[in-house]
Amino acid sequence: MTQVKPAHKRILLKLSGEALMGDDQFGINRATIERMVAEIVEVSKIGVQVAVVIGGGNIFRGVAGGSAGMDRATADYMGMLATVMNALALADAMDKQGLTARVMSAIAIEQVVEPYVRPKALQYLEEGKVVVFAAGTGNPFFTTDTAAALRGAEIGAEVVLKATKVDGVYTDDPAKNPNATRYEQLAFDEAIGRNLGIMDATAFALCRDQKLPIRVFSIIKPGALLRVVMGENEGTLVHA
């Protein structure tokens, strides 16, 4: 029997910190992170090279009250440290499920994680390891969406997969409007014109300029990540 090959060999998975919370108000829900990792293990086993950029909103949310009135750059650095915490938790869960992960940080914390070095990241991917990029771009005023677009372009990812709690991009908020319909595909210019808020403007412009497609899908739906990498019509594809 001929084995069906995945549609994508190398992907950049963008996980929000909030996706790790499950039903909790902040922090990391262990059952949720283990389920997500199981999906990553599944696609890695069929030969897909996986890199991950993770946000820190779930950790930072717990200290957000204390950051009110804080200098923006200082708050952003705190958020970067939150992404490092999430990356370590994600890598630990991967290791426990038999998948080798390497955390690479855009800010230097060498006692804890490796610094980001592009050739080393590419080597890890070729070896079948999952690379988790932490600390965003290493600069304040840039989101982890921008980090996902940047790292995706740097490592030659074929697609940026933005994992959310909603199974794609809709004409309206489906939680509030039951008549909202899901876009199957969108051109970058159309998405910008409709102000759909898929990613922040910097990230979106970078993906458009590099002709790096974005697929928005639900990380909550069982098997959705596998369906995406196999090229099935899952979520919404945004392309040049």
C-alpha dist (Å) from residue 122 to 115, 147, 168: 14, 16, 29
139 labelled as ligand-binding?
yes
144 assigned binding-site residue: yes
Q: Is 170 annotated as a binding residue?
A: yes
Q: Which residues contact 129 (CB under 8 A, 6 or more apart)?
A: 100, 101, 102
Residue 147 placed within a domain: yes
Residue 1 pLDDT level (bands cut at 50, 70, 90): very low
58 close to 28: Cβ distance less than 8 angstroms: yes
Is 142 known to sit in a ligand binding site?
Answer: yes
Q: Does the annotation flag 15 for ligand binding? A: yes
61 is in an annotated binding site: yes
Confidence category of residue 21, pLDDT binned at 50, 70, 90: confident
| pLDDT value of position 206 | 94
Q: Does a structural domain hold residue 4?
A: no
On whether residue 32 sits in a domain, the answer given is yes
Is 181 annotated as contributing to ligand binding?
Answer: no
Number of domains, the chain: 1
In this prediction, residue 173 carries a pLDDT of 84
76 is in an annotated binding site: yes
The alpha-helical segments, DSSP class H, found in 51-111 are: 57-60, 72-96
The reply to whether 2 falls in a domain is: no
**3-class DSSP assignment, residue 235:** coil
116 annotated to bind ligand: no
Q: Which domain holds residue 227?
A: 10-239
Q: Is 71 annotated as a binding residue?
A: no
pLDDT averaged over every residue in the chain: 91
Task: Please report whether residue 39 resides in a domain.
Answer: yes
* CATH number of domain containing 202: 3.40.1160.10
Buried b (16+ CB within 10 A) or exposed e, 124-155: bbeeebbbbbbbbbbebebbbbbbbbbbbbbb
Rounded (10°) CA dihedral 27, 228, 52, 59:
-10
**Is 133 annotated to bind ligand?**
no
* Residue 2 CA: distances (Å) to CA of 5, 47: 9, 15
Average pLDDT score over residue span 120-139: 97
- Confirm whether residue 138 is marked as ligand binding: yes
| Closest to 225 in 3D by CA, of 17, 12, 16, 2 | 12
Establish if 131 belongs to a structural domain.
yes
Say if residue 235 carries a ligand binding annotation.
Answer: no
pLDDT digits (tens, 9 = 90+) for 165-211: 889 999 888 888 888 899 999 999 898 888 888 888 899 999 999 99
> Is 173 assigned to a binding site?
yes
Q: Which strands sit side by side in the sheet containing 114-115, from one edge to the other?
A: 114-115, 101-105, 130-134, 49-54, 10-15, 159-164, 214-218, 236-239, 185-187
Q: What is the b/e burial string over 44-78, where b = at least 16 CB atoms within 10 angstroms of the residue's CB?
A: beeebbbbbbbbbbbbbbeeeeeeeeeeeeebbbb
